[in-house]
Chains A and B, each alone.
Chain A
Amino acid sequence: MKRALPFILLLAGTAAMYLLMPYNLAFATRILVMGIFVLSIDLVLGFAGIATLGQAAMYGAGAYAAALFAAHAWAEPVAGLAVGAAAGAVVALLSGLVLMRASGLTLIMLTIAVAALLAETANRARDLTGGADGLRVAFGPVLGLWEFDFIGQTGFCYAAAVGACVLGLLALVARSPFGLSLRGLQSSPARMAAIGAPVYPRRVAAYTLGGAIAGIAGALSAQVAGLVSLETFSFTLSAEALVMLILGGTGRLWGALLGTVLFMFAHHYAAAADPFNWLFAIGALVMVVVFVLPGGLLSLPGALKGGRHD
C-alpha cells in the first residue's frame, strides 16, 4: 500500500491538473514534458553521479530531430518520439565517448560546451532549422487516431501517457542490476573498478540512456507546441532542470517529479507577477537546499523525524 501511494498521488495529481486547469492545459503539458526531462537528468546525475549542466544538448537534438522527421518524412508523433529518442541517444553516445573520461569541473564545462556547439549548429543551419526564428511543424494525429486540438486536450493526455511510460521504464531500471551499478558508480568509481565493473562503458551507457530520455522529452515538447526554438539547447534550460532536481531530491524518481511540479507552479505564478523577486526566491531556495537539506524536499520528512529515509 505504501509503495502504491506515490503512484496514486501522481495519478490524482495528473487528473486534477486536467480537470482543474481546462484553459491552461498547455502549461500543465509543459510540466509533464519538463518532468520527463528532469527524470533524464536524475538518471544521469542522481543515479550515476555524472555531473552535467548540458543535458539540453540531447533535449534539443530530440526536439529538432522529431520536428525535421515530421516535416520531411512522417508526421505521426509516436514515430517522432522514437526518432527523438534515437537522436538524443546518438548525441549522448558520441559526446559521451569523450566526456565520460572527464570528471569534476572539466566534465561540467564539456557538457556546457557540447550544448552550446549544438545550439550554434542549429542557429547556422538556418535553411533546415529556421535558425533563430525557430521551426514550426504540424504533427499528424497520434497513432493516426487523435488530432492535436486547439485547447490541448490531446497534447496533455499524450504527454501524460508518454510520461507514464518513461516513469515505468525508469522505475524498472532503478531496481535492475544496471540501476544498482549506477548507484555504485556514483558512490565509488574506485570500488566499481575493483569489483571488475567496466567503469567507462557503464558511464557511457548511463549517459546514452539518459540522452535517449532527454530526446523523448525534447521531441514531446516539439510535438505539443508545434514549434522548436534554439531555446531547447539553452544553458538556462539545463540549469533550471538541475535546480528542479535538486529541490526535489536527487537519486529518487519521485524527487525529480516533486521538484519539477513545485518549481513549475512557483515559476508560473510568481514569475508572472514579478520576475526578479522570483529569481530572488529561487536563488534563496537553492542555497537553503544545498546548505540545509542536501537530500532535497523529499528528504524533509525523514530529516524532521531525525531518522533516515528508506
Chain B
Amino acid sequence: MTEGLVVRGLSKRFGGLVVSDGLDFDLPPGARKALIGPNGAGKSTFANLVTGIHAPSSGSIRFDGADISDMDETARVRLGIAKTFQITTLFTGLTVRENLRLAVLERERRGFRLFCRADGDPEVEAEIAALMDQLALEPLADRVVERLAYGQQRLVELAMTLALKPRVLILDEPAAGVPGSETHLITDAIEALPADLAVLIIEHDMELVFRVARSIVVLVAGRILTEGTPAQIASDPQVRELYLGGAHG
C-alpha cells in the first residue's frame, strides 16, 4: 500500500488572491519531503489546506484512498494527519506536562471522561516523560508554557504533534526561532521517527532541509516550480536564481 496522501488540482483563493494554484502532490508512507519557497509562496496555506484548517476553493485531497476534502480538521487529525504551527499555538496557561497530557488523552479519545484523574494513568505519564526526554524538555516539565523562551516553546510545539502519533506529519518551520545550539534536537527527533511515517517539512533553513529530506518540492507564487532530490534541487538553475537572486528572506 503506497497510497498515503494524494493531492490533486488543489487551489485556494483568499478573495482575489490565488495562494495555491492547482497543486498536485504525493506524500506516501515513509516519505521525507521538504517544501521550500520564498516568503508568501503559499507553503503554510498548503499545510493548512491539507490539515483542514482552510477549505480548498477547488481540487481534492485523498488519504489512503478515501476522499477527505470535506472532512473537518478534527476528523483529519484523528485519521493521523497532524501539523505543527509556524506561529507557536499552545495552551499557554498550562504547564508543558499538561499540554502533552492533553494531547495524549485526546489521541486516546478520553477527553469526555469525567470521573477519573487526568494524571491518573501511569502509561500516559510514562509516554509524556519519554516525549519530554526526547526533546530535552524534562527540566521545564512543570513550567507554564507562556513563561518559556520562544525556542523552548517551539520544541513543545513539536512534542505536541509527536504526542499524537501521526501517520502524516507536517512541520511548518519547526526550527524557526530555535537557537542553533538546539536545532539538533529537532533533526534528531525527526530522524528518530518511525520509518513508515510520512513527513513533510516546510523550512527556510537549508542545512536542516538537506539533512532530513530525501526529496524537495519548490513552491513559488502558489505553483510548484520543480521537484527533485536534494542534489537535483541544489544544482537546478531556476532554484539557484530564486535563492541567490535575493528572494529568500
| Contact (Cβ within 8 A) A194 B82 | yes
Shortest beta-carbon distance from B126 to chain A in Å: 17
Chain A: which residue is nearest B143 at the CB level?
A308
> Which of A86-94, A139-147, A174-182 forms contacts with chain B?
A174-182
What sequence of 0s and 1s flags, for each residue 52-84 of chain B, a beta carbon within 8 Å of any chain A beta carbon?
010000000000000000000110011000110
> Which of B105-113, B196-204, B211-219, B221-229 forms contacts with chain A?
B105-113
Cβ 8 A contact of A202, one of B53, B77, B111: B111
| Contact (Cβ within 8 A) A199 B105 | no
What sequence of 0s and 1s flags, for each residue 147-176 of chain A, a beta carbon within 8 Å of any chain B beta carbon?
000000000000000000000000011011
| Contact (Cβ within 8 A) A178 B112 | yes
User: Chain A residues near B85 (CB, 8 Å)?
Assistant: 190, 194
Evaluate whether A196 and B78 lie within 8 angstroms (CB atoms) in the complex, with A180-B101, A188-B92, A191-B90 already known: yes
Shortest beta-carbon distance from B144 to chain A in Å: 7
| Contact (Cβ within 8 A) B114 A172 | yes
Shortest beta-carbon distance from B139 to chain A in Å: 17
Complex CA distance for A177 and B102, rounded to whole angstroms: 7
Contact of B94 with A by CB under 8 A:
yes
**A-side interface residues, number (CB < 8 Å):** 27
Query: Which residues on B are within 8 Å of A, measured CB to CB?
Result: 51, 53, 73-74, 77-78, 82-83, 85, 89-94, 98, 101-103, 105-107, 110-119, 144, 160-161, 163-164
Q: Report A183-234 residues with CB < 8 Å from chain B CB.
A: 183-184, 186-188, 190-199, 202, 205
Chain A: which residue is nearest B147 at the CB level?
A308
Residue among B51, B115, B119, B164 with the highest chain A CB neighbour number at 10 A: B115
| Contact (Cβ within 8 A) B113 A177 | yes
| Contact (Cβ within 8 A) B77 A195 | yes
Complex CA distance for A308 and B93, rounded to whole angstroms: 12
Cβ 8 A contact of A188, one of B77, B83, B89, B101: B89
Complex CA distance for A187 and B85, rounded to whole angstroms: 16
Cβ 8 A contact of B118, one of A180, A187, A197, A308: A180
| Contact (Cβ within 8 A) B77 A191 | no
Complex CA distance for A145 and B74, rounded to whole angstroms: 51
| Contact (Cβ within 8 A) B74 A178 | no
Chain A: which residue is nearest B92 at the CB level?
A187
Evaluate whether A184 and B73 lie within 8 angstroms (CB atoms) in the complex, with A172-B114, A176-B118, A197-B111 already known: no
| Contact (Cβ within 8 A) B112 A194 | no
| Contact (Cβ within 8 A) B144 A308 | yes
Chain B: which residue is nearest A209 at the CB level?
B114
User: Chain A residues near B74 (CB, 8 Å)?
Assistant: 193, 196-199
Cβ 8 A contact of A181, one of B73, B82, B105, B163: B105
Shortest beta-carbon distance from B167 to chain A in Å: 12
